[in-house]
Every structure is written in C-alpha cells, then in structure tokens.
C-alpha cells in the first residue's frame, strides 16, 4: 500500500508539471518575434528571463499545471510590456500592436534609389538598419514614434513616423542623376553640362582658328609662284 501511495503521489506530481513547454511568439500576420526578451513567471513564483532564438520560440521546463504568466519586455530594443497568460491550450502568443512599415527612398526626380542605407531610431537610439532594394526597405515595428534616416553616398535626409497602423514613409534625397556612380544634384548636373558645352565650344573655336591659319599659310606660300 505504501508503494502504491508513493506511486500515486509521483503520478499526481507529474500531472501537475509539464516537462518541456514550448512557447512561441508571433505577430498578428504570423511573423515570429526573433530576439524578443520575455519575463516568464511560473505558478510557484519562479521567474525566468529568456531571449527568443532564431526560431522565435523557447522551451520552458517544469511548468506547474502548464500555466505561465508571460510579459514581453522588448523586441528590437523597443519596449513592449505586453502581458499574457499561457495555458496548454494556447502556447502560441499573438502579440498585437506590431505593424509593417515601408520606407521608400527616392531622388529629386522621384526615381528609386537602390542601395540607400536606412537607419531607424527609437528614443534617439538606433534599433534597426538596412539597405533599400529598388528604393524600398520593409520592416516590422511596434507602435510608437520613430526617426527614420536615409543615407545615399554623402546625401542624408530624415523624417519622423508615428506607427499606429501599417505605414509608409517616403524620404527624398537631393540626387538628380548619377554619372559613373556619382550622385549629382540638379545644380551640379547643369554646371557639368555647361562646362562640357563650353569645352566643346572651345575645342570647336580652336579647330576653326587652326583651320583658318592653315589656309592663310597655304595661300601665302602659293602667292609668289602665281
């Protein structure tokens, strides 16, 4: 009987524990929150701070009744503070308030600038950086106010964006055209056109004057024999 009681006690304790409890975080459109920092509290009061790895998930061991109190502290160094109670029936946490943001970087003619560097700041702290493709850089950001900076060669421009829903930011840099990979403003481009035109005109005048001089010299040589 004693052994039976011990066995039943072990079974009861095991039923109160989940040996390995998978925990996963996603946005409302299904993107995993890789790198999110969580504070996990078990029913027995034990607290754990974890960072989600490349899979956007983590396994918590020895969870009484399979219930956890989870607080998402931050993601991309941006505070979230979202709290959620996890049970065996809902181990995937859908985190609200994270939206898709598109940043379009263009030149002064509205042309897309591929290869522009986009830097995103929250509270003055850089939280993300990337490169545009066909002028576009797309990311996910928690709701909040951001400063977005675009850099192309030595040209820099920025804007602020308040994210409360999916948003698009458009940043214009003073790039009128590129020649040999060198970005030029409209004034610089016009200056180069004028310089080139003056050079061509100067070369034409020199050639014309040289031709006239050659003709005069030839006529001077032919005059005595006449």
Beta bridge partners of 183: 178
Confidence of residue 161 (pLDDT cuts 50, 70, 90): very high
* Segment 163-207, tens digit of pLDDT: 999 999 999 999 988 887 778 777 777 887 888 888 888 888 888
pTM of the model: 0.75
Burial of residue 64 (number of CB atoms within 10 Å: 0-12, 13-18, 19+): middle
Where would I find the H helices in 54-185?
none
């Amino acid at each position: 009987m004693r052994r039976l009681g011990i066995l039943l006690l072990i079974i009861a304790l095991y039923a109160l524990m989940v040996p390995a409890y998978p925990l996963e975080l996603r946005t409302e459109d299904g993107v995993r929150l890789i790198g999110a920092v969580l504070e996990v509290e078990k029913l027995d009061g034990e607290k754990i701070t974890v960072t989600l790895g490349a899979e956007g998930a983590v396994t918590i061991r020895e969870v009484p009744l399979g219930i956890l109190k989870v607080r998402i502290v931050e993601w991309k160094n941006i505070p979230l503070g979202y709290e959620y109670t996890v049970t065996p029936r809902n181990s995937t946490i859908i985190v609200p308030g994270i939206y898709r943001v598109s940043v379009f970087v263009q030149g002064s003619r509205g042309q897309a600038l591929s290869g522009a560097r986009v830097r995103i700041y929250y509270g003055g702290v850089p939280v993300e950086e990337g490169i545009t493709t066909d002028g576009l850089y797309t990311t996910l950001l928690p709701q909040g106010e951001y400063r977005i900076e675009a850099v192309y060669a030595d040209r820099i421009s920025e804007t602020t964006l308040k994210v409360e829903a999916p948003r698009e930011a458009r940043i214009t840099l003073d790039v009128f055209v590129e020649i040999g990979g060198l970005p030029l403003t409209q004034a610089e481009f016009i200056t180069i056109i004028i310089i080139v035109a003056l050079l061509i005109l100067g070369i034409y005048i020199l050639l014309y004057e040289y031709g006239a001089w050659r003709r005069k010299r030839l006529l001077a040589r032919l005059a005595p024999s006449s």
